């Protein structure tokens, strides 16, 4: 009996030890994988300068991660360190588990794009597990580009106005970071195919009222509020404007002495002098860059084709008046439609944007067949029967606290599938993206 008792006790102790070891091993594995996810989440906030290359990659990656992680709630007083070859991330403890991560440089890919390996070691008790993931440097667009409409001001959609996605209703999500009493208003018979995103906290910051309004595919106000209104804890970043390349590309001057009469006018790489206030009356074709000085009111009547990017002088804070008014039918294929000639060689590199108008208001009152890129201005108004019946392949960005207004029968259809994530005229950054099929376990 004594022998049997000792044997059973030893067996039980061994099984308990095995269970404890298995628990520690599983906890260590989960902790290691948590390290990867924690770092991937941190990488979404990473912003390195656009000119980062293979020589500066690791140093700038270390600096960027320091800005994100040093002395935060997760890591306490610890900081990111870099010894010239390996970036060591602060250890993170959760209960009786912890993980520590390192980043080492890898050989650049065939195109010379820098790569690195993220390694996470999870520990629990006497057990440790190692997992890794490879990443490459990639372009990072500002969070505002993820929306159909992103406005620093309020957004008002009323009447029978419609904003929807070409291929998915999620392409029609709209964002306001206005902190005013009313950030987003949807009323009448208006339709927003996507959801409403805002950073204002007050319950009254969203106004929904009307006999036939629809948001996120439903007309039930309670369902809209519960499932299709999202209050974000942090503001998605808006892109800074970079007008540097454009002024020098506008080589032809349009002023009060320029004859703009008659149909079939063709304008190539032009600058509109301050105070000209021109009207383009019929069948006007704009090629290349149209650079608008301040103050100016530029009006497009009847038909206009924009094989161009329309850029304004930064008139932020100026009295104006400063506006771009589209009162007739507009087609805007952008600079991608330009011929491959020396005249437009530098201009064609400025793709992905159609209108960039800081300090200007932009108004659409007529029919728009397509806009092949992002449009950004201080204020937008889509009025009457304005109708983008083709597509807008990009984002509508409100650069100021002024309200963006859609009313009447205005219709906007968004095609995110063909949009450019790094459109011209904005400050862009570099970040990291995961290389598929590179997850590995063990050293």
> pLDDT digit string (tens) for 361-419?
999 887 776 889 999 999 999 887 766 655 788 999 999 999 999 988 888 889 888 77
pLDDT digits (tens, 9 = 90+) for 84-127: 999 999 999 988 899 999 999 999 998 899 999 999 999 998 89
Average pLDDT over residues 285-294: 97
Average pLDDT over residues 134-159: 93
Average pLDDT over residues 35-42: 94
pLDDT digits (tens, 9 = 90+) for 156-177: 999 998 999 988 899 999 999 9
Split into its structural domains, the chain has a count of 2
Q: Determine contact, residues 86/103, Cβ cutoff 8 Å.
A: yes
Residue 14 and residue 116 in one domain: yes
pTM metric for this prediction: 0.83
Residue 185 and residue 45 in one domain: no
From residue 159, give the alpha-carbon distance in Å to each of 29, 174, 184, 222, 411: 56, 17, 15, 21, 11
Residue 183 and residue 300 in one domain: yes
Residue 137 and residue 149 in one domain: no
Peptide bond into 295 cis (omega under 30): yes
Residue 207 and residue 123 in one domain: no
- Comparing 13-22, 35-44, 65-74, 431-440, which segment has the lowest mean pLDDT? 13-22
> What pLDDT sits at residue 377?
97
Residue 266 and residue 132 in one domain: no
Residue 273 and residue 304 in one domain: yes
Q: Determine contact, residues 370/333, Cβ cutoff 8 Å.
A: yes
Domain, as residue range, for 36: 2-141+430-441
Q: In the predicted model, is pLDDT for residue 3 greater than 80? A: no
pLDDT digits (tens, 9 = 90+) for 216-231: 999 999 999 999 999 9
Tell me the pLDDT band of 281, cut-offs 50, 70 and 90: confident
Residue listed under structure tokens 């159609």: 354
pLDDT digits (tens, 9 = 90+) for 300-342: 988 899 999 999 999 998 887 999 999 888 889 999 999 999 9
Residue 187 and residue 318 in one domain: yes
> What pLDDT sits at residue 334?
93
Average pLDDT over residues 276-291: 94
Residue 55 and residue 119 in one domain: yes
| Beta-carbon count within 10 A of 439 CB | 13
> What pLDDT sits at residue 17?
56
Give Dmax (Cα) for the chain: 116
> What pLDDT sits at residue 384?
74
3-class state of residue 432 by DSSP: strand
Tell me the pLDDT band of 194, cut-offs 50, 70 and 90: very high
Residue 297 and residue 332 in one domain: yes
Query: What is the Cα–Cα distance from 189 to 8, expressed in whole angstroms?
Result: 77
> What pLDDT sits at residue 282?
84
Q: In the predicted model, is pLDDT for residue 75 greater than 80? A: yes
Residue 136 and residue 241 in one domain: no
Q: Give the closest residue to 239 by CA, choosing from 420, 45, 51, 427.
A: 427
Average pLDDT over residues 147-153: 96
Q: In the predicted model, is pLDDT for residue 357 greater than 90? A: yes
Residue 125 and residue 166 in one domain: no
Average pLDDT over residues 20-46: 90
> What pLDDT sits at residue 20?
65
């Amino acid at each position: 009996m004594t022998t049997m008792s000792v044997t059973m006790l030893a067996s039980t102790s061994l099984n308990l030890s095995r269970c404890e070891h298995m628990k520690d091993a599983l906890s260590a594995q989960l902790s290691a994988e948590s390290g990867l996810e924690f770092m991937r989440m941190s990488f979404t906030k990473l912003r390195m300068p656009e000119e980062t290359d293979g020589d500066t990659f690791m140093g700038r990656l270390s600096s960027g991660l320091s800005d994100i992680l040093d002395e935060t709630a997760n890591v306490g007083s610890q900081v990111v360190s870099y010894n010239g070859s390996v970036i060591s991330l602060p250890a993170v403890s959760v209960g009786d588990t912890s993980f520590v991560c390192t980043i080492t440089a890898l050989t650049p890919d065939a195109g010379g794009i820098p790569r690195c390996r993220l390694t996470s070691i999870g520990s629990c008790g006497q057990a440790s597990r190692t997992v890794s993931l490879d990443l490459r440097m990639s372009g990072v667009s500002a969070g505002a580009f993820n929306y159909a409409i992103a406005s620093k001001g309020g957004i008002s959609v009323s009447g029978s106005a419609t904003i929807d996605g070409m291929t998915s209703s999620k392409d029609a999500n709209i964002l306001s970071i206005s902190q005013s009493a009313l950030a987003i208003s949807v009323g009448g018979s208006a339709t927003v195919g996507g959801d409403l995103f805002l950073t204002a906290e007050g319950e009254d910051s969203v106004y929904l009222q009307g006999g036939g309004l629809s948001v996120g595919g439903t007309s039930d106000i309670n369902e809209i509020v519960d499932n299709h209104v999202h209050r974000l804890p942090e503001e998605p970043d808006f892109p800074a404007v970079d007008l540097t390349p454009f002024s020098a590309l506008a080589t032809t001057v349009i002023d009060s002495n320029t004859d703009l009469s008659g149909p079939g006018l063709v304008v190539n790489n032009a600058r509109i002098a301050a105070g000209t206030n021109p009207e383009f009356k019929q069948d006007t074709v704009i090629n290349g860059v149209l650079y608008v000085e301040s103050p100016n009111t530029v009006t497009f009547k009847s038909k206009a084709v924009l094989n161009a990017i329309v850029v304004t002088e930064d008139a932020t804070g100026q009295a104006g008046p400063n506006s771009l008014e589209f009162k007739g039918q507009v087609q805007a294929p952008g600079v991608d439609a330009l011929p491959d000639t020396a005249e437009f060689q530098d201009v064609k590199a400025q793709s992905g944007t159609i209108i960039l108008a800081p300090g200007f208001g932009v108004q659409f009152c007529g029919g728009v067949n397509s806009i092949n890129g992002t449009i950004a201005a201080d204020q937008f108004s889509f009025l009457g029967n304005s109708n983008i019946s083709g597509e807008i392949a990009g984002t509508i960005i409100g650069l100021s606290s002024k309200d963006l207004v859609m009313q009447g029968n205005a219709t906007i259809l968004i095609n995110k599938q063909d949009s450019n994530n790094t459109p011209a005229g904005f400050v862009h950054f570099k970040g990291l993206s995961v290389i598929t099929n590179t997850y590995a376990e063990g050293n």
